[in-house]
Amino acid sequence: MGVEIAALSSRGGRLLNEDTCGWWTGRDVAFCVVSDGAGGHQAGEVASKLVVEETLGWLRATHECSVQAIDAALRHAHEKIMIEQRRDSSVADMRATVVVLAIDSARNAAVWGHLGDSRLYCFRDDRLALQTRDHSVVQAMVDAGLMNPGDVRQSPQRNKLLSAMGHEEGFEPRVDGSAFTLHPNDKFLLCTDGFWEVVEERDMERALQGCASAEDWLRVLETYVLARASSRHDNYSAVAVWCTPASYGAGQVY
């Protein structure tokens, strides 16, 4: 089993794009990372790039698809941000979300991890099979039965995070999928909140019906963003990963 990967990243209605996404494939492995930075004065851009580059770099060096490898990679990237915060006071407040996917095509296995409100969705037979749970105030309210899941996108507290890369208090990334066995034609979507805020899960499923590639799927989903988002809409980024019979090489950071 191989993977087909496509990515997009846009500043939306903002002056600066503080999202970063990247991917790398090697023999029998594929790693994808999406990060949404925050902190002002370009610090968010610095944070997201550090997260993607350091996480991908660690995973490339270990060449391992495991819970332990992803946890170590995220902790390594977090420490790099903390070091940069101490070194340069102008980026002392920078933070970033992260979502990372690792695929072992030889074992047909997938592992993923995340922190903040950037999400991973998995689709099987073109239906949503699972998604990550945000580290956010509104997710905590949903878990406590104080909010309907359908109200998350409209909540004025939607952007309040409980944890993020670069924030030492409460830093505990969630890593899942140790026993997740891939099926042919499984599909993944990793995206920032600027993307999923206006693209609902039913949109993601519906768009899969008429798309022949990961690239086509992303472009269709982007039309929803462009049609629904306001002129001041947040940055939005996404990486689509389709399990395929063939393998792909190379890598890129956006």
Q: Which domains does the chain have, with CATH numbers?
A: 2-253 (3.60.40.10)
pLDDT above 80: residue 249: no
Which amino acid does the sequence have at 29?
V
Residue 221 CA to residue 208 CA, distance in Å, equals 9
State how beta strands 119-124 and 187-191 pair: antiparallel
Query: What does the pLDDT look like over 14-73, one tens digit per residue?
Result: 999 999 999 999 989 999 999 999 987 679 999 999 999 999 999 999 999 999 999 999
CB within 8 Å of 237: residues ≥ 6 apart: 7, 8, 9, 10, 19, 20, 21, 34, 36, 191, 192, 194, 195, 254
pLDDT above 60: residue 251: no
Chain CA centroid to CA 103, Å: 14
What whole-number percentage of the chain has pLDDT above 90? 75
* Band of residue 179 on the pLDDT scale cut at 50, 70, 90: confident
C-beta of residue 167 within 8 angstroms of C-beta of residue 95: yes
